[in-house]
Structure 1
Amino acid sequence: MRVLIVEDEPYLAEAIRDGLRLEAIAADLAADGGAALESLAVNEYDAVVLDRDIPVVHGDEVARRIVEQQLPVRILMLTAADSLNAKVTGFELGADDYVTKPFEMRELVMRLRALARRPAEGAPPVLEFAGLRLDPFRREVYRDDRYVALTRKQFSVLHLLIQARGGVVSAETLLERAWDENADPFTNAVRITISSLRKRLGDPAVVQTVAGVGYRLADPDRDPDRDDASGAAR
């Protein structure tokens, strides 16, 4: 997941961001509604954690614009306004979920994962491709019915590759979607994660390097044109 946290209290915003990162959820920060709209215009997010009472552009207006522009992002309102009327108004504005302050970090994480589990139209909640089965909500991966234990980052990268269903995903896209905006664009984190993911998934190798382009999942039994992907990631 990649989440935008819209919160004008810097200590709280950073605490949420750090808590999400510990759960392998990439998180960016916006301190006001204007900055939030700018980030939404240039980045793809799975969810927005939105405080309603924020400067420049009010959180309610941010929610309205998300709905009006039909942005493919879930809205989780996180606010001190805990009355029933406030909650009703939040949902009427387009919120998918509503959490009041103070809150438990574990609950926020589970609510975000529940939002991410809601599939796009026609997409199955459990993804299957090339002998792999990935359950985003339970965070489980199986290869030919064999459970594969993955780190949080390996899981995030595999999730993106299996969603592409054999299409090539660039290293830049993996870095943008599985990490966050503070990731060093010159880091070798993607290459290292791909290499370790290959080892976890075992032989025959299913993660293929497309030289100079990116990475893809290739079914070893059905793709006669695959190159040798058994070595270290390039």
Structure 2
Amino acid sequence: MVVEDDDDLRLAVTTELAGAGLEVAQAADIAAADLVLADGRFDCVVFDRMLPDGDAINYVHRRRQEGWAVPVLFLTARDTIADVVAGFEHGGDDYLVKPFAVAEMTARVLTLGRRAGSGRPSVLRLADLELDSARRQVRRAGVLLGLTGKEFAVLEFLMSRTGLAVSRTDLIEHCWDSSTDPMSNVVDVVIKRLRGKLGEPELLHTVRGRGYRIGGDE
């Protein structure tokens, strides 16, 4: 799904993604996008940030609170560190500053889409935690959790290996793109947020010297 109010740019992005073999829907504002997103399942949404009816990060943030976990790539001319951080904090999974190479944008979308469309079981369960890959929803004790796309990807990867220690390197390779610095603290930040959202009793554990594990004996 491409949401961009500049007609020429929307056409260029849509054409490039279609040329990469993807089925692409499009919209020019948040209201139109919301109608389309309600009717279909998408593996990735590309949002221009500043749209005629508002800043897309506010829409994404609200949807994340409702449990929506579709990966989101923000396109924007706003390039300060504060803008980039705000994009991630409001639920974005990637952030590309204009002007950008359309080929790079396509590579990032394909990476996000592969995570969303991986061939894992549709529903993963552990104790009272349930992750529905098809609906992109996570519930604990029946309560819907508002996870970002990145948090969902990390949790899905860990739950597909319940009881096993997963290294930070494995998490970066499967849940981030190749440009992510393996020495950065991105994994730790997402794990901390996940722990807070999953609540008690704790299911997500740190395995000293090995990484992280969900479930399994202490």
TM-score (norm: length of structure 2): 0.52
2:36 corresponds to which residue? 39
User: For 1:62, which of 52, 59, 66 is the aligned residue?
Assistant: 59
* C-alpha distance in 1 between matches for 2:85 and 2:106: 22
What are the residue-to-residue correspondences of 1:159-170 with 2, within 5 Å?
none
2:131 corresponds to which residue? none
User: For 1:15, which of 12, 32, 53 is the aligned residue?
Assistant: 12
Deviations 1:132-162 (CA, angstroms, capped at 9, x unpaired): xxxxxxxxxxxxxxxxxxxxxxxxxxxxxxx
Matched, 1:81 2:78: yes
* C-alpha distance in 1 between matches for 2:4 and 2:118: 30
* C-alpha distance in 1 between matches for 2:65 and 2:52: 20
* C-alpha distance in 2 between matches for 1:101 and 1:42: 29
1:25 corresponds to which residue? 22
Is the contact between residue 46 and residue 72 of structure 1 (CA under 8 Å) also seen in structure 2? no
Residue 8 of structure 1, CA deviation: 0.6
Q: Which amino acid aligns with 2:36?
A: S
Residue 91 of structure 1, CA deviation: 0.2
Q: 1:30 to 1:119 in 2, by over 3 A?
A: closer
Q: 1:122 to 1:23 in 2, by over 3 A?
A: closer
Deviations 1:175-233 (CA, angstroms, capped at 9, x unpaired): xxxxxxxxxxxxxxxxxxxxxxxxxxxxxxxxxxxxxxxxxxxxxxxxxxxxxxxxxxx
* C-alpha distance in 2 between matches for 1:117 and 1:43: 17
Name segments (4+ residues, structure 1) moved above 4 Å.
119-122
Matched, 1:53 2:72: no
Residue 120 of structure 1, CA deviation: 7.3
SS at match of 2:100: coil
What are the residue-to-residue correspondences of 1:159-198 with 2, within 5 Å?
none
* C-alpha distance in 1 between matches for 2:89 and 2:69: 17
> Percent of pairs identical after alignment?
36
* C-alpha distance in 2 between matches for 1:43 and 1:119: 14
Residue 58 of structure 1, CA deviation: 2.7
1:110 corresponds to which residue? 107
Q: Which amino acid aligns with 1:91?
A: F
Residue 109 of structure 1, CA deviation: 1.1
Residue 43 of structure 1, CA deviation: 1.3
SS at match of 1:107: helix
* C-alpha distance in 2 between matches for 1:121 and 1:106: 22
* C-alpha distance in 2 between matches for 1:120 and 1:15: 24
SS at match of 1:27: coil
Is the contact between residue 37 and residue 62 of structure 1 (CA under 8 Å) also seen in structure 2? no
Residue 79 of structure 1, CA deviation: 0.7
Residue 122 of structure 1, CA deviation: 8.7
Residue 119 of structure 1, CA deviation: 5.4
2:92 corresponds to which residue? 95
Q: Structure 2: give runs of 5+ residues left out of the alignment.
A: 122-218
Q: Which amino acid aligns with 1:60?
A: I
Residue 99 of structure 1, CA deviation: 0.5
* C-alpha distance in 2 between matches for 1:122 and 1:11: 35
TM-score (norm: length of structure 1): 0.48
